[in-house]
Amino acid sequence: MITMIKGFLQRLNDGEAIIIAEGFMWELERKGYVKFGEYTPEVVLNNPEVVRIMHEEYAHAGSDVVEAFTYLGNRKRLRAIGIEEGLEELNRRALRMAREVADVTGSLMAGDISHTWYYQPEDPKAMEELRAMFKEQIEWAVDEKADYIIGETFQDFGEAMIALEMIQKYGNGLPAVITLTAYQPDVMLDGVPIPEACKRLEDAGAAVVGLNCARGPKTMLPLLKEIRKVCKGPLAAIPVPFRCRGKYKTFQSLLDPDTGDRLYPDNLSAQLCTRREVREFAEEAKALGVQYIGLCCGNSPAFFREVTDVYGRTTGATKYTPDFTNSLSRSTDPKNKKIQSYMFDPVE
């Protein structure tokens, strides 16, 4: 089934929300196909079928967008792990697969470039290479028929700005979504306050600006309110579903409540949000008028369904929303009292 779907900009202009699943690296690590510490999308070459299934699962749970899994799939990063020769194939395969799933599920397809780990503004040669890395990834995304291009997880304002410029230069007119990563301070690594960074990206022509990764729902939304004060256009909120709060604004900073050990990245399940918390986030974001919403690292289709439900969507996964009518654990029938007591009542 190929569905004619409403274009990206048209939806935004009509005030509709775009709901996007992200966090692929973490979801595939959880399934055993990605290595923490390397964080590369090699799985696209080694086990493409699991990437395709993940895209299908998120479309089933209501994602409006299939984002090509090319995060950190840039030349220097792949060179560092010894697979530079597979660069173009990895990017094209990821894009093609995303396009195919998008066409079958009636979704949009987004190309993806990200922070590179190679932003060195004091080194002109390195900056030339950075531009070339963005250029080739953007051109592949255009070639493989992306509907728009995402530049994500930027920690330096300068790198985000270059990404936007390169999308505008080589993206064949495709819209750009630029999302920044806020760590503990509300300031980019290169010193630009984050609301100002968003404003400058919006003024420079990004269709959507906002935040992704690092912060949880409770620590991302207050900053987003500051961004709302200076930006007029659509805003993005794509937090990690972890219990960041207070002075622990990022998931990198979270500690194990039992041991006090740092949890990032492989033991963060100790501070995972509940579905209810994800739902509350979606409700708050909706009330704030967030038009481009999703979840980053730690996302799962069950979390994602909470977001799509709050935004009023009925999806393939909707009919499997929990329903405890026939559940023993929540039964009010007196004959289940004994087993419920065995299940629930604390014992010394």
Q: Contact residues for Zn ion (CB under 5 A)?
A: 213, 296-297
Helical ranges in 106-206 per DSSP H: 124-143, 157-170, 194-203
Please state the closest distance from residue 294 (CB atom) to Zn ion, in A.
Answer: 10
Question: Closer to Zn ion at the Cβ: 12 or 213?
Answer: 213
Taking the least distance from each CB to Zn ion, the nearer of 206 and 213 is 213
CB closer to Zn ion, 237 vs 297: 297
What distance in Å separates the CA atoms of residue 198 and residue 227, rounded to the nearest whole number?
Answer: 7
The candidate with the shortest Cα–Cα distance to 67, out of 117, 101, 106, 105, is 101
Would you give the DSSP letter of residue 274?
Answer: P
Q: Which is nearer to Zn ion, 27 or 144 (CB)?
A: 27
Half-sphere exposure of 172 (CA within 13 A, CB side): 14
We find the least distance from the C-beta atom of residue 196 to Zn ion, in angstroms, to be: 23
Nearer to Zn ion, 144 or 217 (CB): 217
SS3 content of the chain, % helix, strand, coil (to 5): 45, 15, 40
C-beta neighbour count of 314 within 10 angstroms? 10
Q: Which is nearer to Zn ion, 110 or 136 (CB)?
A: 110
Type and span of the H or E element at 310: helix 301-310
Complex with Zn ion: residue 136 or 152, whichever CB lies closer: 152
- Nearest-approach distance from CB 245 to Zn ion, in angstroms: 18
Rounded least distance, CB 23 to Zn ion, Å:
5
β-pair type (176-180, 148-154)? parallel
CB of 297 to Zn ion, least distance (A): 3
The CA-based diameter of the chain, rounded to the nearest angstrom, is 75
**Shortest CB 114 distance to Zn ion, Å:** 10
Separation between Cα atoms, residue 94 and residue 77, nearest integer Å: 16
In the structure encoding, which two tokens stand for residue 342, read together?
Answer: 């065995």
Instruction: Give min distance, CB of 152 to Zn ion, in A.
Output: 8
Shortest distance (Å) from residue 213 CB to Zn ion: 3
Question: What is the Rg, in whole angstroms, of the alpha carbon atoms belonging to the chain?
Answer: 21
Helix (H) or strand (E) holding 15: none
For Zn ion, which is the closer residue by CB, 91 or 250? 250
Distance CA 206, CA 188 (A): 18
Looking at 19-70, list the stretches that DSSP marks H as alpha helix, in order from N- to C-terminal side. 24-30, 43-46, 48-60
